[in-house]
Amino acid sequence: MESISRPSLTFWQEAWRRIRGNKVAFFSLILLIAYGFLAIFAPMLSKYGFDQQDAYAMSQGFSGAHWLGTDSLGRDLWVRVWMGARVSLTIGLLAAVLNTVIGTVLGGFCGYYGGKLDMIVMRMIDVIYGIPSLIVCILVMVVLGSGVQSLVIAMVIVGWTGTCHFTRGEVFRLKEQEFVLAARVMGEPVFTIIMREIVPNIMGLLITQLAMAIPSAIFQEAFLSYIGLGISPPQASWGGVSPRRAREC
């Protein structure tokens, strides 16, 4: 009599089991969740606005009212830190996810079909590789202006190439495997074969690339903001103090 030694697990169930078994990975996951939670809710729960200035509380240290103190303009640093984290995480996640999705779809079709489609897309990637990505982002930002949407579009234009090239090679390697041939014989559409049969087998590598793309997008956004092409700062508001009194202070 044959028996199954353990129940069948999906990819995500197996990944979660391994994360729980690794103390360092599980602790890192908790830190990431806490970081995202604070970035979302810390500015919402604070009584101070991130652009609100107080002429009577400039350059203060740690206190019960201001947990991280205030800057030279009287703005609460605790709120500003987490507001900046929210913007950076939003841009990093959007850019990385869009790059992964676009690269996976294009790379899957190129690797599965080959031919003219593969040649056209690969030549496009060669042209994009030949131009420094930072120059392309700067040109796009100059045309579209500053803002979150412009930053994400600029990063997506040059960021999908790596995932596309990687997915193309993996699909080209796996498309002749028995399980893909069986799905083809069963009459499944090409998109279903790529998404259901091939992509799950390279999901671990795609998640690794996604995890590496998020900090890369955040660093790129920080540099573009540093040179004046990032998020435009809003007009500051003086909390409860008239502009004339603020100027006098």
Measured CA to CA, the distance from residue 159 to residue 85 in angstroms comes to 21
- Segment 25-56, tens digit of pLDDT: 888 889 888 988 888 888 888 888 888 887 77
Residue 81: inside a domain, yes or no? no
- Segment 62-105, tens digit of pLDDT: 877 788 888 888 888 888 888 888 888 888 889 889 999 999 99
Measured CA to CA, the distance from residue 213 to residue 162 in angstroms comes to 10
Residue tagged 């202006």 (tokens): 145
Residue 198: inside a domain, yes or no? yes
Residue 153: inside a domain, yes or no? yes
Q: In three state form, how does the secondary structure of 182-205 look?
A: HHHHCCCCHHHHHHHHHHHHHHHH
Average the pLDDT over 192-212 and give the result.
84
The token duo for 155 is 């990063």
Residue 195: inside a domain, yes or no? yes
Q: Is the CB of residue 67 less than 8 Å from the CB of residue 81?
A: no
Measured CA to CA, the distance from residue 205 to residue 208 in angstroms comes to 5
**Three-state SS at 71:** coil
Residue 14: inside a domain, yes or no? no
Residue 142: inside a domain, yes or no? yes
What percentage of the chain has pLDDT greater than the value 90? 2
- Segment 114-133, tens digit of pLDDT: 888 889 988 888 888 888 88
Query: Which pLDDT does position 102 carry in this prediction?
Result: 92
Measured CA to CA, the distance from residue 86 to residue 99 in angstroms comes to 20
Residue 217: inside a domain, yes or no? yes
The token duo for 111 is 């690797």
Number of domains within the chain: 1
Is pTM beyond 0.75 here?
Answer: yes
**Three-state SS at 27:** helix
C-alpha distance from residue 42 to each of 27, 77, 84 (Å): 21, 12, 11
**Three-state SS at 32:** helix
Domain at 149, CATH number: 1.10.3720.10
Q: Which domain holds residue 110?
A: 89-232
Residue 107: inside a domain, yes or no? yes
